[in-house]
Copies of this chain bind each other. A is one copy, B any other.
Amino acid sequence: MTEDQFDSQLADCAIETEVFLAAHLATLDAPEHLLAAMAHGALDGGKRLRPFLVRLSASLFAVPHEKSLAAGAALEMIHCYSLVHDDLPDMDNDELRRGKPTVWKAFDPALAILAGDALLTEAFALLSDPRTHPDPAIRAELVLTLAHAAGPAGMVGGQVLDIEGETSPLDEEAIFTMQARKTGALIRAGVEMGAILGGASPAQRSGLTRFGTAAGLAFQIADDILDVTATSHALGKTAGKDVAQNKSTIVARKGLDAARQVLDGAVANGIDALLPFGPSADPLRALIRHFAARQS
């Protein structure tokens, strides 16, 4: 597929996810300020890469886009809640995200904590809703997969390792472990959720898990490279903050060239894992290349 086709598909998915999330938030019988803070944290921002992963992975099994939209939106709510909490004064103390004030800055820290909690909880309400998938076995497996990826053995655990790495530098292996949890787990979960929606065989699931792991690694290394090579304007968030906060990254530990080699290796590994899927996996191939080439 051409780069234009890829960009257009990614943009379509972002718009559909945005519309879905806005409509879903509008259905909630919740206090006005809470909904406003949730919307601030979840709407009008982001490339929606994770829902796109769910969509592309589900598409391998001929699942129509509208049937994977809710699962993608639930995954995005988890991603958004993690940003809302990450930005808090007691965490990264960040005031700028996607070119806008962060939730705690636009509202206050207490409401940001609660809006994050609400997005996190609502993601599981959405996944377990019969409208997301008629088969309860699929719904329960989506919940289990996302909860494992987002929880103490996944994303939250990675955030703890990341914070610990600021005061006692991590070695190379510990950095990979931290990043596989902090960022990789949700990206892999996106690919796996598509496989669950599509009724993948164990072998297909295993191949997609391998791809998802490689995609998560590629995404994070590219992010670390951008932190030192891009501007805050291009990123829509504060650049150079890894260095400022003494974050443990492969770039900091091994330098830019070595990081670029890891990135290339991850892309090759991810593409190799897609071999059994033939040309239908071209969009996933384009996606991992996009992760590696992104400028923001």
Contact = CB atoms under 8 A, between A and B. Distances in A.
Interface of A: 28-31, 33-35, 38, 81, 85, 88-91, 108-111, 113-114, 116-118, 120-122, 124-125, 127-130, 136-137, 139-141, 143-144, 147-148, 150-153, 156-157, 159-161, 163-164
Given A120-B120, A153-B28, A113 B140 contact: no
A31 B161 contact: yes
A160 B33 contact: yes
Contact of A140 (B31, B111, B136): B136
Query: How many copies of the chain does the oligomer comprise?
Result: 2
B121 A156 contact: yes
A184 to B, nearest CB: 14
B125 A157 contact: no
A124 B147 contact: yes
Is chain A's interface secondary structure helix, strand, loop, or mixed overall?
A: helix
B30 A157 contact: yes
Nearest to A142: B128
Given A90-B109, A122-B151, A151-B121, A140 B114 contact: no
A161 B32 CA distance: 10
A153 B85 contact: no
A210 to B, nearest CB: 19
Given A139-B136, A147-B128, A152-B121, A110 B30 contact: no
Contact of A143 (B28, B116, B140): B140
By CB atoms of chain B within 10 A, which of A29, A88, A137, A151 has the most? A151
